[in-house]
A and B are shown apart, each in its own frame.
Chain A
């Protein structure tokens, strides 16, 4: 078992890759009563075209299948897995993102029993046509719930606009039509391809004895046999660097118009430390341009173009990346103009100073330290980084090295007008 000390953070991380390929990480946290365990596969909604395990031909599966599979993992011949967790005091859950499916629990008691339930249920698939059919009603309601969430539609609308072909533009849950096509055979095919231990990470954080836990996990895993790992062949369509759709408006029953402004990143093939630097530099750039101390924010807030709903973010994975600004606004056109003007001004004349960078760097270091109070953040973010060969514990050293020049490079990946899009939600005209 490897042991890595992070002296400045006063943390120690334990790690071992098991014989079956499973990557196990354990991070004890002093003072914590609960333990949080995530079991994550590098398999999300974008993995729709691939060569199934043991086959030669590429397939494209119905949209929403990774999420559907996540739901169905909880149902076994003997009943619902939640029942088992509850009895052990484990609070269980799962989520599917564009690139990952995570199964997790937190518990303050019976850690080993809960861990065993987690490992067992994720590694023992049980799908029948009957249980698959039954799930469709539940997921239809989940899809309908998201359809009624204006903020989700706003965010996702801009992602759809930005992409010509990349499956990130397809809703994670799929559509009512696409999930109707899902069969138990599909689920087994996806499961066999993506749930091999060598495609997964187990992360244990909180109140845990690392040596004992590692022994327990090894013992559990040694009881199972897996095929030799195969390299997973996924295929993604060619994706231009321009936005597919420049602008779109959706009418919904909302109190006030909403705007999202998407900026497509044209450098999406990094991994490891290069990717970490790119991600942090782009986030710092957005802090300078659109953060709470920016001229943009001050003017937009004071002229009522934005309100408390205002937010911005940057998402980066291998194959796609985008920055996004969202806000409720009485005047979407004026807000859009102001965002574009801010970008154009920086294009015309670079004005970001060392001093600004230094201040926002401090802020970001503090934010990271605060985030380390959350064991949920540590487990989720560490796993996401790991799948991109980055290391969560490199964040502070990387931040310390970022220069104004790096911000300039980051800006050059999102600054082109042809990579920008606007999505608006406007209130429906009410009939009198």
Chain B
């Protein structure tokens, strides 16, 4: 679906010409091994590069320029996948043909270059005032996770489940690691990112592909670097027995946030991972799934009760918002649904529904430029010629017996509850 051009060793440009959108979207992704320190430094760097640059020395002048370019969007973010940290610069501008002006696209190209290659340096260093301000912003972002109870419960659950591991490391780093970032180190972070990272560049929109390739080669003079696969995360092998951790933590709140994690040796790239995607769908991925039908509809215990499959880490999560006093009942009910899968208690209807919705979700995701970029960026690790049809064919082949077998590899590892009251549920 994308046309691939290696513009330098380790630096790859993916373009996609389409008249589906009224905008042109750019993403420049810098990938390296994930550690808390790297994540913290790069999150601060992401904010600093989004703030200003050599040409637009203040946030105010940069933002005014973006306004003039018909609200061209420019932002950076940091994410993680498996053992990799990903720093992304995103730019999106309206296609000239919908505007009274022309030349917006060209200026957007220039901006991509300026943000990456012409940072706002003072005496050869990033401005300490800006660095300190953005350290504060990233710190506040990390701290505010406490206020979003579901997201906080998930974070705490992972902290207990896999301490000191990429699984529980945030793409923003930690408060302490962000505080430790020094202005003079940040230049080192920046330099190594540009010189050593694996770089993937995406452009999607109504573009002339040859022109874009030529232009970006010229505008983005990245040096060659060792070409390699992304860092692989190895999922744990199946364990003979797992001791289930039971953790309860308190905040002043009304609902109980129940978060469970199950491990499976089947991770992204494992020959069976598409079977596991179907298994997750039957278990709790959708509104026809066992968790929704039983925990919500039959028992009226929850507004939300669902599962998700983190293929990158070989983990399956279940979350439900419940009355904390009913924790034991909810956990038993969730385990019952998994047991049903392990016993092969699966209908043809459940299989058909799950496959139909998986197909719908992958096809739908391709209806946005961002979706095309993000999904391709993940799946190209498995196959550079990846298309949605490959996944659909894979899911179609999955049988009830496969789901039963997949379910048998799933083992409960942790039951975590964040709630406002101490319960005796887990005595």
Contacts and interface: CB of A to CB of B under 8 A. Distances in A.
Interface in A326-355: 328
**Most chain A CB neighbours (cut-off 10 Å) among B60, B136, B296, B323:** B60
Nearest to A80: B297
B237 to A, nearest CB: 34
Interface stretch (B28-36, B91-99, B213-221): B91-99
Contact of A108 (B73, B136, B301, B359): B359
Contact of A366 (B20, B69, B360): B69
Interface stretch (A82-90, A95-103, A408-416): A82-90
Contacts of B255: 141, 144-145, 147-148
A171 to B, nearest CB: 14
A91 B361 contact: yes
Interface stretch (B4-12, B118-126, B185-193, B246-254): B246-254
Contact of B300 (A89, A107, A137, A147): A137
Given A34-B367, A256-B140, A83 B353 contact: yes
A139 B303 contact: yes
B71 A362 contact: yes
A424 to B, nearest CB: 14
Interface string A19-57: 000000000011111100000000000000000000000
A374 B368 CA distance: 8
Interface in A150-209: 150-151, 206
Contacts, number: 194
Given A255-B144, A370-B92, A107 B360 contact: yes
A373 B302 contact: no
B163 to A, nearest CB: 22
Contacts of B21: 31, 373
A75 to B, nearest CB: 8
B22 A369 contact: yes
Contacts of A381: none
A107 B360 CA distance: 6
Given A136-B300, A373-B23, A374-B368, A109 B147 contact: no
Q: Of residues B253, B349, B360, which shows the largest number of chain A Cβ atoms within 10 Å of its Cβ?
A: B360
Given A32-B20, A138-B302, A366-B93, A308 B69 contact: no
B225 interface: no
B109 to A, nearest CB: 16
A369 B359 contact: no
B140 A31 contact: no
Contacts of B363: 33-34, 108-109
Contact of A363 (B60, B67, B137, B149): B67
Contacts of A363: 66-67, 70-71
B421 interface: no
Contact of A308 (B66, B140, B287): B140
B286 A86 contact: yes
B288 interface: yes
A120 B64 CA distance: 50
Contacts of B67: 293, 359-360, 362-363
Residue of B70, B141, B286 ringed by the most chain A CB atoms within 10 A: B70
B321 interface: yes
B385 interface: no
A282 B367 CA distance: 32
A86 B300 contact: no
A309 B22 contact: no
A135 B297 CA distance: 8
A83 B137 contact: no
Contact of B353 (A87, A135, A365): A87
B359 A370 contact: no
B275 to A, nearest CB: 19
B71 A370 contact: yes
Contacts of B180: none
Interface string B84-123: 0000000011100011000000000000000000000000
Contacts of A129: none
B18 interface: yes
A106 interface: yes
B61 to A, nearest CB: 9
Given A82-B287, A363-B70, A370-B23, A90 B360 contact: yes
Nearest to B143: A255
Contacts of B307: none
Interface string B45-63: 0000000000000011001
Contacts of A323: none
B369 interface: yes
B366 interface: yes
Contacts of A107: 360
A141 B136 contact: no
Contact of A33 (B141, B303, B322, B367): B367
B333 interface: no
B327 interface: no
B356 interface: yes
Nearest to A329: B140
Interface string B127-158: 00000010011001101101111000000000
B19 interface: yes
Nearest to A362: B70
Interface in B319-360: 321-323, 349, 352-354, 356-357, 359-360
Contact of A375 (B251, B293, B296, B367): B367
Contacts of B302: 138, 141
Nearest to B362: A108
B71 A366 contact: yes
A292 B252 CA distance: 34
Interface in A252-286: 252-256
Contacts of B356: 86-89, 109
B144 A328 contact: yes
Contacts of B352: 87
B25 to A, nearest CB: 9
Contact of A148 (B92, B99, B254, B369): B254
A392 to B, nearest CB: 14
A80 B322 contact: no
Interface in B363-379: 363-364, 366-369
Contacts of A254: 146-147
A108 B362 CA distance: 10
B107 to A, nearest CB: 12
A309 B144 contact: yes
B280 interface: no
Contacts of A29: 20
B323 A141 contact: yes
A333 B59 CA distance: 25
6 contacts: A34-B364, A151-B147, A253-B253, A328-B147, A362-B71, A365-B99
The 8 closest A-B pairs by CB, nearest first: A31-B20, A366-B70, A137-B300, A366-B71, A89-B356, A86-B353, A363-B71, A253-B252
